């Protein structure tokens, strides 16, 4: 039985307090690493969605400019036909 497993069990005379504390610290370190991995995944997802949002806004802006330009061309064409 390693120190991590021993620290999960109730304290007995077989393990010294020092061994139990070492196992507890290892379990705390494991939990901290797991939380950090979850945080990194959340941050990566946030960055991905932000990039998609920014790209979508830029694409919408380009399309709006294209629509304005084409409306101007249509208006000029209509005016030139009327003359």
Q: Are 19 and 1 in contact (CB under 8 A)?
A: no
Helix (H) or strand (E) holding 3: helix 3-8
The predicted model scores a pTM of 0.54
Largest CA distance in the chain: 105
pLDDT digits (tens, 9 = 90+) for 8-48: 555 555 667 777 777 788 888 888 888 888 888 899 999 99
**Distance from first CA to last CA of the chain, Å, rounded?**
96
Least confident of 1-5, 22-26, 62-66: 1-5
Q: State which residues form the domain around 23.
A: 3-82
Q: Which helix (H) or strand (E) holds 81?
A: helix 17-82
Mean pLDDT of the chain: 84
Q: What integer pLDDT is reported at residue 55 of this predicted model? A: 98
Overall domain count for the chain:
1
């Amino acid at each position: 039985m390693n120190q991590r497993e021993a620290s999960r069990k109730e304290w007995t005379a077989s393990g010294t307090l020092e061994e139990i504390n070492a196992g507890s610290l290892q379990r705390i370190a494991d939990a901290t690493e797991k939380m950090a991995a979850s945080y990194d995944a959340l941050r990566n997802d946030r960055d991905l969605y932000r990039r998609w949002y920014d790209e979508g806004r830029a694409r919408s802006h380009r399309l709006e400019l294209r629509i304005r330009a084409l409306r101007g061309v249509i208006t000029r064409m209509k005016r030139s036909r009327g003359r």
